[in-house]
Structure 1
């Protein structure tokens, strides 16, 4: 996003979501206000819905002008909607699932049926970026002092750094401005939660050198009580800081340097709810079907917020990232841009499993003393772009090159049933070198066709990734195995036709193709073969889609209205999915994970977002997603056994939210009093991709959450604001993911969502 001098580059983004099922609930909430605060019907004065600015095509554009399904929120909206961590994004963006695999610090993004399984070794199908630099963060993170968050849905392989078959999530930090300003925000709430946000912006040299610093400190007591040792699971002690420096020595050159550092300590919630037992594996476990089933029944009596975990659940980590973006206007129509990123992440995480008072599996090697799943990630990337306008502005184009080198060291200790004979450690290093060249252009066809507003977009990218794996000395059985290396390369492409029918209405149709490179699963046997041959390699995954949609931003019956609709169908081949096969035949203990390529998946769906301002004091919004995903060819042979996949996991068929934003009637001299109420709902989803065969009992029920925030800003014409907020106000008990070990150990465990949380906030602007 290009900065301009003497302007605050932060953009407000008004919008988002909701679900029709709860219109009656919200109507009940706002009826008293409607009666007391109806404006003069003879002189209606409706506030406009603010413009949404996104960077999905690597330049600033209105959301309504970009031919792709996107959800976007400003920093202010993130506060209004109580989006404080990346896990909260699921509520704000229906169609996005942020699944907890092993708890609150083990998150997986899923969009349009595309995700990555735990222990798979796959790259995420949904790539996250911070200021256009791929993120390597290994813990749940705090969202603070951001300009915007954008969620791009569908294949994103043409313009962005890493190929993505499912989508991309863009986190953009707030940029320094040419004003001396600052803010301080304190929040307190239940579960002994305490949070402090601070920001200061100082122009060191007017119009030339601008500094911005921000900090966030979050402390919160866990919401799951471990009856075994009286610990709280879900404790958070997280501190993050960021410094941004903008240098603009002349009208043509901009440079933005951003450095962020975070530390986190606490405890994992884990997949600590015994959810279901797979009876046919009792021979493996040497158990009777009633043995573990009793604990499933007992957990239902205890409820979701109590567990019995006989081991520790500590989590700690550090993350830092540096991004440097340099933009130089070569001419009035030609711009050179360079994006450099360096990042590091390390975590040590002990995961509660199953939640029964004996350990079926623990994240520790009781023989060697190693404890906790450890990852250590380093990445450096650079992207150079040339953007231009040609043919009197009819052709808008971009070409570029991208390189990234990253290294991930992983240590996975484990012990089954606290037996020394079963203790082992996987330890390996994976290095990836990514190289890509790309180009994309949009051409205005008005002169050629005589149809004003008709444009065609074409884009292509060629990516080559070299992946290497090395077994490290801590590995119990695999150290000394030969290093392995594979190179994967493929094109990505984008072709679309868009038509700006009127100033308010745009329609489009497009098709895209992308891929997710193959690699190695470090938990599988280091055999130089693919999973079907008993080895640790897996092939690249490929996706092709067709999407059509329309975007409207104008008036409907005199009311400002935004309406976005997308309809799509995707075909994914060689889908990367993990399995826990039994290489020793019936009765053997499966302690390995292999990544198989499932032949084919088809995903189709509809995504809708609508916002309208009914009058000067009331705004209503709706967002909904319908996703129909299925394995159309789901059979894979591993170690001589055929495994059948389905249904598709981490993908609720329906999800959505509905909100009301109300300006309450108070004397303007007292300040501005606003109420936002929002209901989110989703249908059932699976936390396994083989629930119909080897992993039954992995279907999580649907749920509904009610959130609200009452904000009083500019109190008595002062710089102070206060707010009261609450999430899950009805105290719904629900699940947000799980860990399926049915094929390996005969049981499945679920991760529970947060209970009711509430608090108060005090903000001071200076």
Structure 2
């Protein structure tokens, strides 16, 4: 929980309200319960970043959030444009039909964008940890990330900010705010343009992976026809290009005969791409013929290439195709608020979005085509995705005349349609063996409706300063999958349908022990909806029986916490501590079984329901201002996640899950910020240093069985920013910034193909980046 009072930022009602840290301890307003409340009195673990914090801490994209919000993992599976949020061990696997357990919202509308984005002109970002099913709907079994764009104000204002740096960084963003009709029609427009070179050398074509080319714009219009009615409309468009880093680092591969805790490891890649090919095809000279046709291949074979990859380093790879990222997204949100009276408000939230991407993603990084994001038979290259969504939410928020009960009642509807095209090619050993190519092409339609109610009741008549919160939501969901014409084997098969309905609930107590000490305990239940896995056989049966259906995932938790906002030794200080225990049943996890039995080469992706898992942990935040010019802060998370019962059987083969992937056991951030004493006319000079560190994590959920050697080492990253604001009394500001200043090589995720192909690849983090920033405000 970020309770440390950050430096200068302010926000409107729907986001975070944060004031200058040198002024002492002030309120931080959040909307974790869909209404504006003081963070210090909200029962829950929440990380909050206001507009200025986003700039000071260089939070400019999704992946930056992990470095400032310990306990949140921004998981990279197939690289920098394939991101999944993970909180408290809750995430979604690659190639899974399962929705993410952490849902992102923009202005209270769920986001369908599937690639990395740029953050600009945001009012705030709030990271909510733990199940959020009553107020934010199904699938939020791990948490929610709330983005709020800056709203138009009743004054003319403009701001432009430019950055240049290494890797030929060129970035510019701007904002113009215009009150068209005084306090009645307000307009705000903002944009962001980012271009940067890549940092991973692709030896196959002498290109660089990790290039950024993103252009985005946003227009916000606020209309206030009367004192009681406000309508906010926001339209945002983004064009996302560049190149994907992919899981470009060949991390591990298995020799034939290798086992792990009694499980026989798949060795297809290591066997076929080696001199042993002669024996496999019973043809002397087969490997020599392969090498002659593929002169860039590594002659000793894939298993030996693991060490060669280490010698080449993390920022060198080999991928024979391009790695382009081409995406276009737009999002429309419209929120109407009607104040019926002082104690009752009606809100309507409408959202519509469209996200389209074409993405070629390196999946191994070795000079062997074990797998390609391409169908060499048809010429299709790159994974394609088209997601369209429309949502409608009607809320009634209010409080009783006595003020003893705050409540919210609502109805929610969403219709989402997603087309997915996955072309794949396996094992190009030509001319010895021809590759196998296949394209999965399917559409999943989802219709969701829900009713919900939640209230907080002041029961001070029983116990002073005690409040009780209770909430419930019931969701009905209909899912349909349709095979599309580009599907190699499944087009023409009948559509499949399924329905799910489940409750979510919350019950908790809140106690304001003293004016500066707040305590709470609560329990929650939620679920992640079931559905279909598009790359599995379209058979009306669960994965355990050879089909593509998976059940809903259920979860319950209990969380207790303390929040103190006051002083220590006479100096402003904050402390927040939370402990929790979460139980999950029918955990949705992907696996790559072989429908033809062990030893075959026809592995497919299916989403299985693993019987049970549990997560418990502790989250801590503390900050203090020992002097008026110095602020120190610490945020940490201890997360212990495990599968209580990780045994499943798919197509007659036993699998065992564990440990839980993408979840470092310990992560934390320490920062120090200094405001140098200057005269009033000089401006504000400040220096901020920050260290993020975490222990090791796995990029597979089956490292103890079929996915050996998928543990990524722990690491630490040092970042800093030296800023001079309002230079010599002007509106000009300048800053020097840097991230990963010690140029640490580290990994941020991976692509596990252990049970499918017998090898794994990792995604490498960014090297040292630094630059100069200039900003001017009108």
Asked whether the two chains share a fold, i.e. TM above 0.5, the reply is yes
Q: Does the alignment pair 1:210 with 2:170?
A: no
Partner residue in 2 for 1:677? 689
Once the two structures are TM-superposed, the CA of residue 293 in structure 1 deviates from its matched residue by 2.1
Q: Does the alignment pair 1:330 with 2:340?
A: yes
Name the SS for the 2:170 alignment partner: strand
Deviations 1:570-603 (A, max 9, x none): 0000000000011112221133100000000010
Residue correspondence of structure 1 range 477-492 to structure 2 within 5 A:
477-492=489-504
1:287, 1:302 → 2: CA distance?
Answer: 20
Shifted more, 487-496 versus 382-391: the winner is: 382-391
2:111, 2:267 → 1: CA distance?
Answer: 41
Partner residue in 2 for 1:692? 704
Name the SS for the 2:744 alignment partner: coil
Decide which of 404, 407, 414 is 1:404's aligned counterpart.
414
Partner residue in 2 for 1:437? 451
Partner residue in 2 for 1:371? 381
1:686, 1:556 → 2: CA distance?
Answer: 39
1:321, 1:122 → 2: CA distance?
Answer: 23
1:14, 1:759 → 2: CA distance?
Answer: 27
Decide which of 632, 637, 646 is 1:620's aligned counterpart.
632
1:13, 1:518 → 2: CA distance?
Answer: 39
Deviations 1:523-571 (A, max 9, x none): 1011110001000000000000000001111112211112111100000
Name the SS for the 1:437 alignment partner: strand
Q: RMSD of aligned C-alpha atoms?
A: 1.5
Partner residue in 2 for 1:286? 272
Name the SS for the 1:120 alignment partner: coil
Name the SS for the 1:279 alignment partner: coil
Partner residue in 1 for 2:261? none
Partner residue in 1 for 2:510? 498
Partner residue in 1 for 2:196? 220
Q: Does the alignment pair 1:82 with 2:82?
A: no
Partner residue in 1 for 2:93? 117
Gaps of 5+ in 2: 1-9, 257-265, 277-299
Decide which of 100, 109, 112 is 2:76's aligned counterpart.
100
Does structure 2 retain, via aligned residues, the 8 Å contact 1:468–1:485? yes
Partner residue in 1 for 2:163? 187
Once the two structures are TM-superposed, the CA of residue 359 in structure 1 deviates from its matched residue by 1.3
Shifted more, 154-163 versus 676-685: the winner is: 154-163
Partner residue in 1 for 2:520? 508
Decide which of 626, 650, 656 is 1:644's aligned counterpart.
656
TM-score norm. by structure 2 comes to 0.92
Once the two structures are TM-superposed, the CA of residue 665 in structure 1 deviates from its matched residue by 2.7
Once the two structures are TM-superposed, the CA of residue 283 in structure 1 deviates from its matched residue by 4.8
Does structure 1 retain, via aligned residues, the 8 Å contact 2:17–2:30? no
Deviations 1:456-497 (A, max 9, x none): 000000001111000001000011111001001100000000
Name the SS for the 1:158 alignment partner: helix
Residue correspondence of structure 1 range 741-756 to structure 2 within 5 A:
741-756=753-768
Residue correspondence of structure 1 range 546-565 to structure 2 within 5 A:
546-565=558-577
Once the two structures are TM-superposed, the CA of residue 666 in structure 1 deviates from its matched residue by 2.8
2:92, 2:758 → 1: CA distance?
Answer: 22
Rate the CA distance shift 1:180–1:15 in 2: closer, same or farther, 3 A. closer
Name the SS for the 2:491 alignment partner: coil
1:11, 1:695 → 2: CA distance?
Answer: 42
Gaps of 5+ in 1: 1-5, 17-45
Decide which of 23, 38, 48 is 1:47's aligned counterpart.
23
Name the SS for the 2:374 alignment partner: coil
Rate the CA distance shift 1:324–1:12 in 2: closer, same or farther, 3 A. same
Partner residue in 2 for 1:721? 733
Once the two structures are TM-superposed, the CA of residue 15 in structure 1 deviates from its matched residue by 10
Once the two structures are TM-superposed, the CA of residue 336 in structure 1 deviates from its matched residue by 0.3
1:680, 1:179 → 2: CA distance?
Answer: 39
Partner residue in 2 for 1:319? 329
Partner residue in 2 for 1:466? 478
Does structure 2 retain, via aligned residues, the 8 Å contact 1:456–1:498? yes
Shifted more, 140-149 versus 286-295: the winner is: 286-295
Q: Across the two proteins, how many residue pairs are aligned to each other? A: 730
Residue correspondence of structure 1 range 16-35 to structure 2 within 5 A:
none
Once the two structures are TM-superposed, the CA of residue 12 in structure 1 deviates from its matched residue by 4.4
Residue correspondence of structure 1 range 1-16 to structure 2 within 5 A:
11-13=16-18
1:81, 1:410 → 2: CA distance?
Answer: 36
Rate the CA distance shift 1:663–1:146 in 2: closer, same or farther, 3 A. same
Does structure 1 retain, via aligned residues, the 8 Å contact 2:255–2:303? no
Once the two structures are TM-superposed, the CA of residue 378 in structure 1 deviates from its matched residue by 0.2
2:757, 2:336 → 1: CA distance?
Answer: 52
Does structure 2 retain, via aligned residues, the 8 Å contact 1:580–1:590? no
1:295, 1:757 → 2: CA distance?
Answer: 29
Partner residue in 2 for 1:34? none
TM-score norm. by structure 1 comes to 0.94
Deviations 1:694-734 (A, max 9, x none): 00010000000000000000100001000000000000000
Name the SS for the 2:333 alignment partner: strand
Decide which of 236, 240, 245 is 1:260's aligned counterpart.
236
Shifted more, 467-476 versus 154-163: the winner is: 154-163
